[in-house]
């Protein structure tokens, strides 16, 4: 820092360099159990809300009293009982535009591009032919990930859309975003539909992350194929189809993709998102 000096007559003299000490604001205190026991919070407190016993049986908690809440607790919440409907994919109509994924306010619908050889090997390892056929139908040969790469002499990728039944609130924003493509419709839930949806989503989780060669880093839609962009975990206490959730997801996806999940934070003000956090 440079500051001017004055001589006895009040005239400015040559500037003199003044060293200003740099303040180290690094958090030196680790998040230990005496500060916040994350596992206990997730199991005891979030667990009580999930099983319905919180209101009558959960005692006051010292961490919550100090407003210490782990990030991403919404990931543990199950909304499968909320809405009567869930999206159904018609993969033959999917063009891999990813509009449904970017518009979803609850991270309940996700996409993945899987190289041809890898997906075919994973499917071949499934013993049940009915289950194998069902999972194969979740993928499409799209122009974006299949035809374009074939023309370039590169390995094409199958593209799939998957719905997480524990996070979907049945708002049908994805169906509206899909529009005339007709790749998504709403389906009435029952026990079998929920079980099938969960098995299908488990298969999505088992598959490897979309390889970087299939991701255009300049497109937000493609960014959401990368796991480092999925910082908004869903399970928030927001309303069905909440526009704020969609905006937060887009912002976090772009920031997380570019800078990593440890380089972004949100300071929240009063609102429905304070009720249960969905940010990692």
The full set of domains in the chain, from first to last, is 38-70 (no CATH), 85-274 (3.30.70.20)
Q: Which residue has the tokens 């919404």?
A: 74
| The pLDDT of residue 191 | 94
Please choose, from the candidates 156, 85, 87, the residue with its C-alpha nearest in 3D space to the C-alpha of residue 118.
156
Whether the CB-CB separation of 112 and 66 falls below 8 Å is answered with no
| The pLDDT of residue 4 | 52
Q: Which residue has the tokens 């449904």?
A: 100
* Angle at 169 (CA atoms; ends 164, 170), nearest 5 degrees: 95
| The pLDDT of residue 220 | 87
Which band of pLDDT confidence, cut at 50, 70 and 90, is reported for residue 46? confident
b/e 250-274 (16+ beta carbons within 10 angstroms → b): bebbebbbeeebeebeeeeeeeebe
Which band of pLDDT confidence, cut at 50, 70 and 90, is reported for residue 25? very low
- Higher-scoring residue by pLDDT: 19, 152: 152
Q: How many residues does the chain have?
A: 280
- Which of 17-26, 83-92, 194-203, 236-245 has the weakest average pLDDT? 17-26
Structure tokens at 78: 């199950």
Non-local CB neighbours of 29 within 8 Å, separated by 6+ positions: 35
Residue 141: how many CB atoms within 10 A of its CB? 17
* Angle at 131 (CA atoms; ends 125, 134), nearest 5 degrees: 115
């Amino acid at each position: 820092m440079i500051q001017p000096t004055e001589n006895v007559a009040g005239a400015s003299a040559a500037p003199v360099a003044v060293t200003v000490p740099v303040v180290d604001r690094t958090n030196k205190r680790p998040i230990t159990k005496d500060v916040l026991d994350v596992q206990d919070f997730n199991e005891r407190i979030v667990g009580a809300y999930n099983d319905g016993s919180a209101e009558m049986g959960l005692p006051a908690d010292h961490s919550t009293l100090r407003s210490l809440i782990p990030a991403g607790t919404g990931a543990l919440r199950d909304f499968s009982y909320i809405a009567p409907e869930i999206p159904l994919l018609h993969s033959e109509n999917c063009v891999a535009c990813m509009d449904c994924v970017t518009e979803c306010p609850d991270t309940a619908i996700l996409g993945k591009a899987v190289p041809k050889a890898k997906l075919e090997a994973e499917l071949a390892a499934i013993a049940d032919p009915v289950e194998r056929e069902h999972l194969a139908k979740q993928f499409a040969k799209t122009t974006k990930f299949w035809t374009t790469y074939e023309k370039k002499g590169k390995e094409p990728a199958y593209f799939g859309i998957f719905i997480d039944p524990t996070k979907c609130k049945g708002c049908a924003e994805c169906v509206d975003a899909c529009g005339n493509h007709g790749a998504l419709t709403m389906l009435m839930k029952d026990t079998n539909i929920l079980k099938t949806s969960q098995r299908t989503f488990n298969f999505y989780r088992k598959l490897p992350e979309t390889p970087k060669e299939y991701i255009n880093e300049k497109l937000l839609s493609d960014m959401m194929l990368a796991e480092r962009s999925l910082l908004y975990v869903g399970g928030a206490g927001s309303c069905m189809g909440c526009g704020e959730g969609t905006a937060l997801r887009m912002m976090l996806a772009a920031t997380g993709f570019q800078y990593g999940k440890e380089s972004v934070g949100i300071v929240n003000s009063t609102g429905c998102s304070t009720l249960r956090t969905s940010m990692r």
